[in-house]
Each structure stands twice: as structure tokens, then as C-alpha cells.
């Protein structure tokens, strides 16, 4: 049977080995710091061989130290290559080759056969005969009814009220158990051109239905990232009654063109630029970002923007022919994630 003292000596040796292994990276770092303080050049980071794997280092502190050195070496190499390329471009001057365009998901987008060509005669004919032709021919003026799902909560009600200040000639109606199929005939009888319905879930707006009257179409959107005016930092004063300008970005396909025309038909024809207000529907990767801004002219050459709110993001779920009909409606397009979202570079708007 071993004595108590011998057992202690054995355990102490193992403890000393662990302590030495743990303090090894600290001593190396301290040596580097001491060399730098003494005026000598710090030890250069060791060159890592091509097949070197930091994950094979078992000691945690040593592994972290080597990973930090490897990251520093990568940054230095990247900065040196960047400076070298900049000097070469300055030496070549006008003969320098154009800068390469970085690859992104947007510019690597899969080509869509339905992309709209503005000079296409078929597209021009469809635009002249579709449901929005009367608006773009200036035969009708938009008149919007904004309503909610049944028994809405405060956040949804405030969103509707703020939307009514963004869209001119829009009216808010608070539903109390009245079905949409009964609301639509009343809207048509009172010369409303569009119906907007804000749905909610768990007291948060989560959906938007936009129906063009009297003959449709009807678009169903998922709504997310809703921010009311009080929730936006550094926002401007409340919007004025001037008719805002509308900007539509990246609605390039036939489907996107139809959605863009739906949004455009919500606003009057002649914007009042003196109000400096602009409503933007920006499509990026099939997500439609809505923003409401005001121009701030700082000088003759500089201009800034000031967000007024509200803001939200829309994702198209379906496009239905005619007005709202959940049972017997005919759908032009329905989003099917398992079939349509097989590629990250495939977009539909």
C-alpha cells in the first residue's frame, strides 16, 4: 500500500504538467510583449503549412492562441495584396482594367423568361387592356378603403391610421363581424377603387390583402418587421397632406409588373413635389420593403432623406383573379415553397 506522501508526489507531478501546459501560451504571449516593450521587433507569426489544422491542437489555450495568430496573418496578407493592387492601378492610370464586380445573390440571379421588356408590343397591349388601364389612362382617381380583421387590437388599428396619412383619399373602417364578401359590394357602390385589409395574429399585424375594385385582382401578402412611427429612431415630423411621390424598384417580371401596377394605382396621378414626400416599394429577393421618407435639401448639391414611418416588409403569397373569394377564387399565381424555393438565386418578382 502506497504511503500518503508518495501519492501526493505522484498527483503533484501530474498537476505540474497540466500547469506547465496551460502556462505555455501565456509565456509565449508575454515574451512577445516583452520584446515589443524593449524596442526589439516582435516575433513574426509562424508560417502555417498548407495542411495545418488548428482544430487538431488539443490544448484549448494553445489552440486559441494559434487561431488568433492565423487570423492576424490572414489580415496582413489581405491588406498587403490590396495595397499592391492599388499601386498597380495607380501606375497604369487610365489603362487600368475595370474593377471586378463582386458576386452577390442578386447579380447571380437565375434568368426568368417572363422578364418584362418595355419595348415589347405584347406587354404594351396587356397594359392597355388590364384592370389598371383606367387608372393609368387617368379615367379614374384612387379612393381607398383600409380595414382590419375582425376585432383588431391597438397596434393594428394604429397601423391603419398611419397608412391613411400616407395614402391620400383613404378611409379607415373598423370591422365588427362583417364579412369581406359583404364589404366589397358596399365599396363598389360607393366608388372605392381599392380595398386594403390588415390581418393580425397575437396582437401583431402579420398579413395584408390588397384587392383592386371592381374586377380585381387580389393579392395576398405576408407582413413582417412592422414599425410604427413612435418605434422609429430619428424619425421626422408627421407627414403633411401633400400627395407623395411613389418609387417602384426591381419589379422586373410579368408578375412583379402586375404587383407594381397595383401599388402605383393606390396613389393619385400628380404628386405634389413641394411636399418633398416619397413612398417607396423596393423589391429585393422577392421581399417588398415599404418606406416613407421626406427629402431634406442641405444645399444645392447635397440632399438627405428623413424617414417618417410607418415601415413594413411584404412577401407575396398569392395573386387571385377577381375580388376576394377564398373558396371559389381562381388564382393566377400561388407561392409553393417546396417547389419554388429550391434555388436561392431564383426569384419571381
CATH of the domain at 248: 3.40.50.10480
User: In the prediction, which pLDDT does 311 show?
Assistant: 94
Tell whether 67 is covered by a domain.
no
Tell whether 263 is covered by a domain.
yes
Tell whether 98 is covered by a domain.
no
Task: Provide the percentage of residues in the chain whose pLDDT is more than 90.
Answer: 51
220 vs 214: CA distance, rounded Å:
17
Tell whether 41 is covered by a domain.
no
User: In the prediction, which pLDDT does 37 show?
Assistant: 46
Residue 191: which pLDDT band, with cuts at 50, 70 and 90?
Answer: very high
Tell whether 91 is covered by a domain.
no
Taking only the tens place, the pLDDT of each residue in 84-113 is 988 988 888 888 888 888 888 888 888 888
Mean pLDDT, the chain, integer:
84
Backbone angles phi, psi at 54, to 5 degrees: -65, -30
As given in the structure block, the three cell numbers for residue 89 are 492601378
Runs of H (alpha helix) within the chain: 4-37, 60-92, 121-129, 133-136, 154-166, 180-189, 254-264, 337-340
Residue 124: which pLDDT band, with cuts at 50, 70 and 90?
Answer: confident
Give the range of the structural domain holding residue 154, as residue numbers without chain letter. 114-341
Tell whether 210 is covered by a domain.
yes
Bridge partners of 221, per DSSP, are: 208, 316
Cis peptide before 310 (omega within 30 of 0): yes
Mean pLDDT, rounded, for 119-148: 90
359583404: which residue's cell?
Answer: 182
Tell whether 30 is covered by a domain.
no
8 vs 95, which has greater pLDDT? 95
User: In the prediction, which pLDDT does 20 show?
Assistant: 46
Residue 296: which pLDDT band, with cuts at 50, 70 and 90?
Answer: very high
CA atoms within 13 A of residue 95's CA, in its CB half-sphere: 3
Buried b (16+ CB within 10 A) or exposed e, 243-256: bbbbebebbbbbbb
User: In the prediction, which pLDDT does 14 show?
Assistant: 53
Task: Out of 124-128, 243-247, 266-270, pick the least confident.
Answer: 124-128
SS (H, E, C) 242-301: CCCEEEEECCCEHHHHHHHHHHHCCCCCCCCHHHCEEEEEEEECCEEEEEEEEEEECCCC
Task: Out of 6-15, 245-254, 309-318, 338-347, pick the least confident.
Answer: 6-15
Taking only the tens place, the pLDDT of each residue in 160-169 is 999 999 999 9
103 vs 258: CA distance, rounded Å:
29
Tell whether 52 is covered by a domain.
no
pLDDT at position 42 over 50 = no
Q: Number of structural domains, the chain?
A: 1
How many other β-carbons are positioned within 10 Å of the β-carbon of residue 289?
15
Residue 38: which pLDDT band, with cuts at 50, 70 and 90?
Answer: very low
User: In the prediction, which pLDDT does 46 show?
Assistant: 55
Residue 120: which pLDDT band, with cuts at 50, 70 and 90?
Answer: confident
Mean pLDDT, rounded, for 177-186: 88
55 vs 38, which has greater pLDDT? 55
Residue 121: which pLDDT band, with cuts at 50, 70 and 90?
Answer: confident
Amino acid at each position: 500500500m502506497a504511503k500518503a506522501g508518495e501519492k501526493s508526489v505522484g498527483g503533484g507531478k501530474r498537476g505540474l504538467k497540466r500547469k506547465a501546459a496551460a502556462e505555455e501560451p501565456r509565456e509565449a504571449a508575454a515574451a512577445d510583449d516583452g520584446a515589443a516593450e524593449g524596442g526589439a521587433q516582435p516575433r513574426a507569426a509562424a508560417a502555417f503549412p498548407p495542411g495545418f489544422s488548428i482544430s487538431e491542437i488539443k490544448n484549448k489555450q494553445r489552440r486559441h492562441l494559434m487561431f488568433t495568430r492565423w487570423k492576424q496573418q490572414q489580415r496582413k496578407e489581405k491588406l498587403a495584396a490590396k495595397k499592391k493592387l492599388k499601386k498597380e492601378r495607380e501606375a497604369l492610370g487610365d489603362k487600368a482594367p475595370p474593377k471586378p464586380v463582386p458576386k452577390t445573390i442578386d447579380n447571380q440571379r437565375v434568368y426568368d423568361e417572363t422578364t418584362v421588356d418595355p419595348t415589347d408590343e405584347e406587354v404594351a397591349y396587356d397594359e392597355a387592356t388590364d384592370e389598371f388601364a383606367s387608372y393609368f389612362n387617368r379615367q379614374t382617381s384612387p379612393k381607398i378603403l383600409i380595414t382590419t380583421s375582425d376585432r383588431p387590437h391597438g397596434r393594428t388599428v394604429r397601423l391603419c391610421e398611419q397608412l391613411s396619412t400616407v395614402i391620400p383619399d383613404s378611409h379607415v373602417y373598423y370591422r365588427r363581424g362583417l364579412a369581406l364578401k359583404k364589404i366589397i359590394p358596399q365599396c363598389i357602390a360607393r366608388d372605392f377603387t381599392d380595398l386594403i385589409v390588415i390581418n393580425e395574429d397575437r396582437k401583431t399585424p402579420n398579413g395584408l390583402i390588397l384587392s383592386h375594385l371592381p374586377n380585381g385582382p387580389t393579392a395576398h401578402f405576408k407582413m413582417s418587421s412592422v414599425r410604427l412611427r413612435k418605434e422609429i429612431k430619428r424619425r421626422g415630423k408627421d407627414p403633411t397632406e401633400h400627395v407623395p411621390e411613389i418609387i417602384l424598384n426591381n419589379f422586373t417580371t410579368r408578375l412583379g409588373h402586375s404587383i407594381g401596377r397595383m401599388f402605383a394605382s393606390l396613389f393619385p396621378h400628380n404628386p405634389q413635389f413641394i411636399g418633398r414626400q416619397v413612398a417607396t416599394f423596393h423589391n429585393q429577393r422577392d421581399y417588398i420593403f415599404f418606406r416613407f421618407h421626406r427629402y431634406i435639401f442641405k444645399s444645392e448639391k447635397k440632399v438627405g432623406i428623413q424617414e417618417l414611418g410607418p415601415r413594413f416588409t411584404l412577401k407575396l403569397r398569392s395573386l387571385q383573379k377577381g375580388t376576394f373569394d377564398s373558396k371559389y377564387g381562381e388564382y393566377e399565381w400561388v407561392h409553393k415553397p417546396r417547389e419554388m424555393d429550391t434555388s436561392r438565386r431564383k426569384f419571381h418578382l
